[in-house]
Each structure stands twice: as C-alpha cells, then as structure tokens.
C-alpha cells in the first residue's frame, strides 16, 4: 500500500467544514446579492467539491500525478462543452 493513512481528526474537520458550508450556501441564497448569488453558490460548491476531492478522495496525498491529471482533464473537458456551447447562445442575438 502506498497511500498514507490520514488522521481521523482531519476527516472530521473536513466533515464539519462541509456541513457548515452547506448551511452557509443555503442561508446566503435568501440574501439578495443580485447576480452574485449564483457566483457565491458555485464558488462554495466548488470549494466543497475540492475538499472532497483533495482529502476524502486522497488526491492531495496521491504519489502519482496521474490521478490529478485525470481530474483536471475531466473538469477541463466539461468546461469545454459548457463554454463553447454557451458561446453560441450568448452571441445569437449579436447580429
């Protein structure tokens, strides 16, 4: 086995953080921040996802860079799909 054993304290800390962030994101949605509401929600969600990926899924401790590259590639390809598709919709009314 080549993966280090993470302390249960750290896991509990991540868990508490995730729960807090959940409450925060739900609460913030009731405050009017205009367009920032969406941004804040997505930023919090991404931060939560990062915590899960890095700590629960051990990516932070992985000896091989390959799993990190796979994660990055997957996110990159998803963003490709989303941005290039949206580019059509956002520019349809320009001409």
Partner 1 sequence: MSHSPSAVEQHNPALRHHFADMEQQRQASSLGMWVFLATEVMFFGGMFCAYLIYRYWYFNEFAAGSRSLDIWLGTINTAVLICSSLTVALGVRAAQMGKRKLLVILLLLTIVFGLAFLGIKGVEWYTKFQEHHIPGSSFSADDLIREYPQIRIDPSHEQIFFSLYFAMTGLHALHMIIGVGIFTFLTYYAWKGRYTPEYHNPVEIGGLYWHFVDIIWIYLFPLLYLIDRKPLK
Partner 2 sequence: MATAAITAERENYLNREYGIRSWLLTTDHKRIALLYLLSITFFFFIGGFFALLIRLELLTPAGDLVQADTYNKLFTMHGQVMVFFFLIPSIPAVLGNFLVPLMIGARDLAFPRINLLSWYLYIIAGVMMLHCILTGGADTGWTFYTPFSTAFSNTKVVEAGLAIFVAGFSSILTGLNFVVTIHRMRAPGMTWSRLPLFIWAHYATSIIQLLGTPVLAVTLLLVVLERALHLGIFDPTRGGDPLLFQHLFWFYSHPAVYIMILPAMGVVTEIVPCFSRKRIFGYKFVAMSSIAIAVFGFLVWAHHMFVAGISLYSALVFSILSYLVAVPSAIKVFNWTATMYKGSISFATPMLYALGFIGLFTMGGLTGLFLAALGIDVHVTDTYFVIAHFHYIMVGGAVMGYLGGMHFWWPKISGRMYPEFLGKLAAMIVFIGFNLTFFPQFILGYLGMPRRYWQYPPEFQVLNVLSTAGSTILAVGYLLPMVYFLWSMRYGKIAEDNPWGASGLEWTTTSPPPTFNFERTPEVTWEAYDYAHIPAPEEASVEP
- Residues 16-55: x where in contact with partner 2 by CB under 8 A, - otherwise, as a string: ----------------------------------------
Assigned token pair, 81: 């799909």
- Cβ neighbors of 56 (< 8 A, separation 6 or more) are 11, 14
CA distance 82 to 86: 6
| Contact positions vs partner 1 (CB under 8 A) | 1-3, 5-6, 8, 11-12, 14-15, 18-19, 22-23, 25-26, 29-32, 37-38, 41-42, 44-45, 48-49, 52-53, 55-57, 64, 66-67, 70-71, 73-75, 77-78, 81-82, 85-86, 89-90
Q: What is the crossing angle of helices 8-28 and 36-51, to 10°?
A: 170
């Amino acid at each position: 086995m080549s993966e280090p054993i993470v302390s249960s304290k750290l896991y509990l800390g991540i868990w508490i953080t995730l729960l807090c962030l959940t409450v925060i994101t739900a609460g913030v949605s009731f405050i009017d921040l205009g367009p920032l509401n969406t941004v804040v929600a997505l930023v919090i969600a991404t931060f939560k996802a990062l915590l899960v990926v890095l700590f629960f899924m051990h990516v932070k401790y992985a000896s091989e860079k390959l799993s990190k590259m796979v994660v990055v590639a997957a996110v990159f390809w998803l963003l490709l799909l989303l941005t290039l598709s949206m580019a059509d919709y956002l520019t349809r009314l320009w001409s």
